A and B are shown apart, each in its own frame.
Chain A
């Protein structure tokens, strides 16, 4: 297992995590996680199932009880509540989308942007299908469409950082490609910390990777370097690109 390999340090990371711990009941889920997220591009947070990737995102956003330092653009935010953190520009797209199924597409978006909702220009630009489905209940949408609602919802705000948890989980290959295109487009403007299991997608859009194992960071470096190293990928993630399809 490699320790810190190459830290792709940037002069001013948008997010710095220092010695982050999360405990649920008697379980010590995160055990001193530390890493930086550069101020541009996509940083992929990788690891096998159950190593603490989702918990890391929840801890950052304030949805998990945490100890340690979380610094965004030089400001410590670990003492703030979720609402304040989100209003300060950290957006969160959860695993499994969690759209409000009883609300229409437009109502889902108006929760964040009461004045424009689905009429916001970014929706037409990135998610034209949602404009057509504005009056449809979100619970009746396909998984891919729900993912678009979930992404559109957070993009209606000006964000400093996006935390996105497994956006392609359960999606058909065509939809994975569509999501990848949207994320790549968004990452040109806003840095993304992305939890993802789909290595071809990571190879396609991620610049840097952080790998967790058993609640600790075991690798940091360039995404291309990790994925090119078949043995290291297998050692850290238990998979290799040879077995993965294209994104």
Chain B
């Protein structure tokens, strides 16, 4: 901008008109951090992204040991196994391990989701070798002490008990049960329910570990202030002599059942709000029209400025927020619209949600709406990868979903290539008004009638006390 404009502005008197809306300047190019993939002799994968901005690094070790790999009847064993890794390993008990990690400034997290188990930490570069040596013990020499198995089971049961009084968690859990057939793994919580968790034993954990924690089923992701050579040397030293046959591949549950509409109230008397979930079985991460579906969802309910949020929040004031999402898993995860609304507008809110789903299937969105979503997803891309933790998570995502190495380099082009017609096609192919499962945690005496009218069917009512008895 020219100096004369600057002087004009600086001599303007207080209270004068605001400066006009500015135009963007030329954008600077950006590239997702470069990374390399290598494979150790034992089959273990290594993915390294050297990012040297600050003396820090994030490690994520992913293992093909998620909930989808559990034997039938052992629901929750994947999560229990992952959580037990830092509770005793390499001759050290859990308390000492926690202290060792924390003295390095690195808190270790371990958990299992639907697809994989993951052990992760962030540490200053200087502490990375020592922290990674402890991670080696967790992965290769876990002890699974009987006492800690029992304790973590009890903690999971306490969490499930808590959930009965927690409307959001209860709504999510009941929604999944309403979506999938009971024999599909996705119907139960990823960490297991009370019945399955109570039945788990140390032997179950040891058997699951023995079957799934193998070098060829493991990927070490490092993003941060390291070179590829340094990372390779660390990996070879710590994991090179880890042996084990390749685990039996995991077959991911696919739910093919076509179920019709359901409307269910999970009773919470005197609830000041209703927790609402509306949706059905979605599609797997590997769907060929992933980008069309993702942009369609952004327009429908993925962004703050999406149709559903602007309708329910900004136009009606029904809620603090409303959004929609496809839960991307290897198998077909849920498509869900989630919101919490004042009890007396529950029926009206569900009517608006169903109306927005009908509308995006019926009419092609206009170009303005499309570009709001695509220019957001395009522009925000560099902002998503400011930290080593975010970069490592993005690389782990590549591994979990078998995405190509150039996925992030091509991401923005593929977002920009989505058309209004592609959005309409995705809405028609992947949103199914006749299959909507509507689950509301709320007060039936207030919401049953209006909800029934909005959904076009009488809701069934379940009591949370009947859902699961505590020990």
Q: Do A and B associate with each other?
A: no
Query: Which A residues have a C-beta under 8 Å from some C-beta of B?
Result: none
Query: Which B residues have a C-beta under 8 Å from some C-beta of A?
Result: none
